[in-house]
Structures are given as C-alpha cells and as structure tokens.
Structure 1
C-alpha cells in the first residue's frame, strides 16, 4: 500500500492520520496526502 493510499485508508477507518508509521520520503508522501484529504474534507459543503 502506497503512503497516499495508507493516508486515505487511515482517514476512512480511523478518522485520523498516522504518519509515524513511515519515515523519510514515504512519510513526506503520506503527510502530503493527509493534507490533501484534509483540505478536501474542509471544503465540503455542509
């Protein structure tokens, strides 16, 4: 599972992100995906 997919999965199953599972480049990818998901979530119409 790619870091980006892991971020999506964590958000869907836990409602939270766990970047500490990754290190280096993978952690950076995970955190970028987490920010992207968070932005999309924040921009949802109510």
Structure 2
C-alpha cells in the first residue's frame, strides 16, 4: 500500500519556515518582557512592605 502526501512547493515551504521563525522570535521577546515586568513587580512589592 502506498500513501501519497502532498507537500507545498519549495518557495511556500520557505515562507512557512520564515513565518514560524518570526513567531518564535516574537514569543521569545514577549517572554523576556514578561520576565522583566515580573522582576519590576517583585521589586516594587518588596519596597512596599519593607
């Protein structure tokens, strides 16, 4: 039994790859921003209760 799988053309694969790389970069940037804001929150809370 043979299974045929249709794959996008090479240029479409490249576009998909670029899209996912950009999404990964955006996720990493967002995580860094979240980490930064959580650090600021922690510092402010410590100052409030000292």
TM-score calculated relative to the size of structure 2: 0.45
Higher relative CO (Cα under 8 Å, sequence separation at least 6) belongs to 1
Which protein is richer in helix relative to its size?
2
TM-score (structure 1 length as normaliser): 0.48
Q: Which has the larger radius of gyration?
A: 2
